[in-house]
Amino acid sequence: METINWKVEGMTCSNCALSVTKFLEKEGMKNVKVNPIDGDVHFEIVELDDLQQKNLTKGIESLGYFVVDERMQAQNNPEKRPMNRYLRYLLICLPFTLVLMLHMIPGLDIHWLMNPWIQLALCIPVYLTGMYFFGRSAWKSLGSGSPNMNVLITIGATAAFLYSLIGTLIGQGDQFLFYETAAAIITLVFLGNYLEDLSVNSTQRELNKLAKSQKIMANMIAFDDEHQEQVFLVENVHLKSGDLILIKNGEQVPADAKILWGEGSVNEAIITGESMPVEKKAKDKIIGGSLLTAGMVKAQVTASADQSVLANILNLVKKAQGDKPPVQHMADRISAIFVPIVLGIALLTFVLNYFILDAFTPALMRSIAVLVIACPCAMGLATPAAIAVGLGRAAKNGILFRNAKSLEAFKTITQVVFDKTGTLTTGAFKIGQYEAIGLDDNEFRIIAYSLEKYSNHPIASCISKTWKDKVDIKWAKIEEIKGKGMHGITKSGDEYWAGSYAIANSLTAADQHNVYILKNGALAGWIDVQDTTRAEAKSVIDYLHSKKISTILLSGDRKANCDLLARDLGIDTVIAEKTPEEKLAIVSELNAKAPTAMVGDGINDAPALAKATIGISLSDASQVAMQTADVVLMNHGLKNLPLALGLGKHTLITIKENLFWAFAYNIIAIPVAAFGFLTPAFGALIMGLSDVVLAINSLRLFVKKTT
C-alpha cells in the first residue's frame, strides 16, 4: 500500500475532519487520518494515479475545503507567507461592525446611525463576507451529510439580518434594528477563530522547529572538466543519494550522510534530545538537521531530504497526531450529531420563549444566542490539541510515538519487561577469553569472523569487528537461525555453527560461555565477551519501582548472567534462556494478567514487542524492532523512558481535562443563552474563546513536570 500525505485547508473543527474522513473512506481509501489542527491528511491506497488524484481533490473541494500542493507553493513563494485567512476576513469586517456598534457608547450623538438604511449599508459587506466563508462551508457540509459549526453561525447571523431587513422594508426599522447583532456575530467569530488559530498553532511549535531544520542551504561538491573540486550552494531539498557535500564548522548538516574525510563534533539534540556533542570521524554516519559544532568534514549523502531520518520523524509524528485514542471516540460521536441537536434546541428555545414571553423579538434573539454560543469545535479539538503538544514535546526530547493509542495505553501499564543485551546493557562488547579446540588460533578466528559477520547481533558484531580479516570462508549457504545462531555450509560440504549453548548442549556441560563454535558437529571452541550496563539503567528501574511498576528481565542469555545483572539493577523478576517463540508466549501470558510494556532492541524481540500492550524500542535497535515498536527512544539509551511514560499519562490527563471543559461549557452555556442571560454577540465571542481555553490548557504540557 502507498501512503499519501496531503495538506487540506479550510477545516475548522472535528466535524470538518469527519466530513473529509467519510468522503475518503467512501472512495475506498484505507487507514484515513485527518488532523483538523494543521490540515494534515494521510491515507493509504494501492496506487494513486492522476485521474484518482484529480477526483479525490475535486471531491474534497466540493465539501468546502482546499487541497494544497505544499511543494509547488514552496517553489513559487519560498519566503512569502500568506496572511492568516481569519485575520484577513476580520480586518474586512471590523471597521463596519465598529461603526454599527457606536450607538452603544453612552453620550455619543449619532442620530444618523439609527437610520435603518444606513445600518443596512454598513451590514451588507460584513454579511456577504460572512456568507462567503461560513455560508458556503455550511451549505457544503449539509450536502455531505455532516453539518459543521458554520451551519449554526450562518443560521444565527442570517436570522438577525433577515429580521432587520424585513423591518427596514416595511418601514418599521427602528423596532427591528439588529443589524449590529448579525455583524457582531460574524466579526466576533472571525476574531475567535483567529485567536484559536494562533493558540492552536503554537501547539505545533516544536514540530515547526523540526520542519524548519529540513530546509537549509548545502555546500555541494562537484568537479570541473579539469577534475578540480568546485563548491557551490544548493538547497538541501535538491540533494540526492550519492551527492558530495562539504560541512563547515558551525553549519547544520543538510542531509543524512556518511563522512568520507575529516572529523568533528556533532550536536544531535534535534534528533536524540541529547545536547552533548558526539565525536564523528571517517565512515561515521551523520543525521540531517544536526549541527557540526567543531571541525570540518566532507561527506556523501545517503538519503534525499524526503527520505531522511528527520523527514521520517516528522511524518511519523504527524500521522500519530491524526490518530485518535479511544477516549476521543465518544466526543466524536457526539460531535457528529451536535449540530442537529443544537438546531433543535434553538427551535425549542424560540417556541417556548415566544409563548412564555408573548414577544417575537426576545424569543428570536435567545434562539440566535443558543445557535452562536454552542461549540462543537471544543469537543473536536480536545484530543488533537493535547496530542499535538504531547507528541511535539516528545519529539523534541527524542521520543517518537507511532500512534496516539500508545499515549492512552501508558495509563494502565503495571509492569515493564526488559530485554538484556543492547537494552539494559550497552551492547558495546569486547572479547574476553576464548579457546580453540582442535584448531590453530588463526583458523578459529577466521571461522568465527566468517560466520558472525553476517549477523547484526551485538555479540556477533563485536567478534566480526575485532577479528576482521582479509581472508574469510566462502559459503555455499549461510543463514541465521533465531534463538540459536549462525549456520554455514561451505562449497565442499563442511558444516559450521556459531551460536548459543543451545547448539552445543549435547557436546559439553560447560554452559557459561557466550558463543560456541562447531565444525561438522564437533565442538571447535568457545568465546566469552564482556558487556557493560547502561549508565542510566539503575535510575530508570528505580523510577519504575517508585511508580509501583514491577520490572521483569526477559532474555535469551544464560540465567547466571541475567541474575547478576538483575541483582545490580534491582529488577524484580528474571526469566532467562528463552527463544523468541518463548519470549512471545511469556509476554502474551503477562499481557493477559496485566497491561505490559516491553523494551527491546533485537530482531528476536520484534514478536514480543508487537504483542505487548506497548512495544518500546531504542533508536540503535534493529529496523525490525523499530518498525514493530509503538514507541522509539531516539537517545541511544533508556534515559527518556520515564519521560515517555510520564508524557503518555499526562497527555491523557490533559485530554480528559479538555473534554471535561468542552462538555461543561456546552452544558452550561446553552441553557444560559436559552434563558436570555447572554446577547448573541457576547455568545459569539465566548464561543470563540472556548477553544482558546483548550489550547492554553494543552500548552501547559510543554512545561508540566511529568516524571
* 201-254 pLDDT per residue, tens: 665 565 566 566 566 788 888 887 777 788 888 887 788 888 899 998 888 888
Are the CB atoms for 640 and 271 separated by under 8 Å? no
pLDDT-derived band at 72 (thresholds 50, 70, 90) equals very low
pLDDT-derived band at 538 (thresholds 50, 70, 90) equals very high
pLDDT the model gives residue 270: 60
What is the rounded distance in angstroms from the CA atom of residue 201 to the CA atom of residue 220?
35
Q: What is the pLDDT of residues 163-178, one digit of tens each?
A: 888 888 877 656 667 7
Q: Look at residue 23 and tell me whether its pLDDT is greater than 90.
A: no
Distances (CA, A) of 404 to 26, 321, 387, 533, 652: 24, 7, 7, 32, 10
Are the CB atoms for 490 and 475 separated by under 8 Å? yes
What is the rounded distance in angstroms from the CA atom of residue 691 to the CA atom of residue 658?
10
Distances (CA, A) of 257 to 74, 198, 421, 445: 24, 37, 28, 33
Q: Counting beta carbons within 10 angstroms of the beta carbon of residue 54, is it exposed (0 to 12), middle (13 to 18) or buried (19 or more)?
A: exposed
Are the CB atoms for 601 and 616 separated by under 8 Å? no
What is the rounded distance in angstroms from the CA atom of residue 553 to the CA atom of residue 107?
79
pLDDT the model gives residue 343: 86
Assessment of whether the complete model's pTM goes beyond 0.95: no
Which has more confidence, 14 or 390? 390
Phi, psi of 117 (to 5 degrees): -70, -35
Which runs of E-coded beta strand occur in 402-451? 415-418, 430-436
Which has more confidence, 624 or 692? 692
Instruction: Annotate 172-209 with b (16+ C-beta within 10 A) or e (fewer).
Output: ebeebbbbbbbbbbbbbbbbbbbbbbebbebbbbbbee
| Gyration radius from the chain CA atoms | 32
Q: What is the pLDDT of residues 292-348, one digit of tens each?
A: 888 889 999 988 776 776 676 666 566 655 555 555 566 566 666 777 888 899 899
Q: What CATH code would you report for 216-309?
A: 2.70.150.10
User: Residue 631 contacts by C-beta under 8 Å, 6 or more apart in sequence?
Assistant: 399, 400, 401, 402, 406, 614, 615, 616, 617, 644
DSSP string computed for 533-570: B-TTHHHHHHHHHHTT-EEEEE-SS-HHHHHHHHHHHT
What is the rounded distance in angstroms from the CA atom of residue 373 to the CA atom of residue 691?
12
Fold of the CATH domain 430-530: Calcium-transporting ATPase, cytoplasmic domain N (3.40.1110)
- pLDDT above 90 covers a percentage of the chain that reads 17
Question: CB-hemisphere CA count at 13 Å for 51?
Answer: 0
pLDDT the model gives residue 34: 82
Catalytic residues: 419
Q: What CATH code would you report for 398-425+534-639?
A: 3.40.50.1000
Q: Look at residue 378 and tell me whether its pLDDT is greater than 70.
A: no
Q: Is 108 helix (H, G, I), strand (E, B) or coil?
A: coil
Q: What is the pLDDT of residues 451-480, one digit of tens each?
A: 999 887 778 888 998 998 878 898 999 998
Q: Counting beta carbons within 10 angstroms of the beta carbon of residue 138, is it exposed (0 to 12), middle (13 to 18) or buried (19 or more)?
A: buried
Domain boundaries, the chain: 2-76, 85-204+322-387+652-702, 216-309, 398-425+534-639, 430-530
pLDDT-derived band at 567 (thresholds 50, 70, 90) equals very high
pLDDT the model gives residue 309: 65
pLDDT the model gives residue 210: 59
Q: What is the pLDDT of residues 124-166, one digit of tens each?
A: 999 999 999 888 888 877 777 777 777 878 888 888 888 888 8
Establish whether domains 398-425+534-639 and 430-530 are of one fold: no
Q: Does domain 2-76 have CATH number 3.40.50.300?
A: no
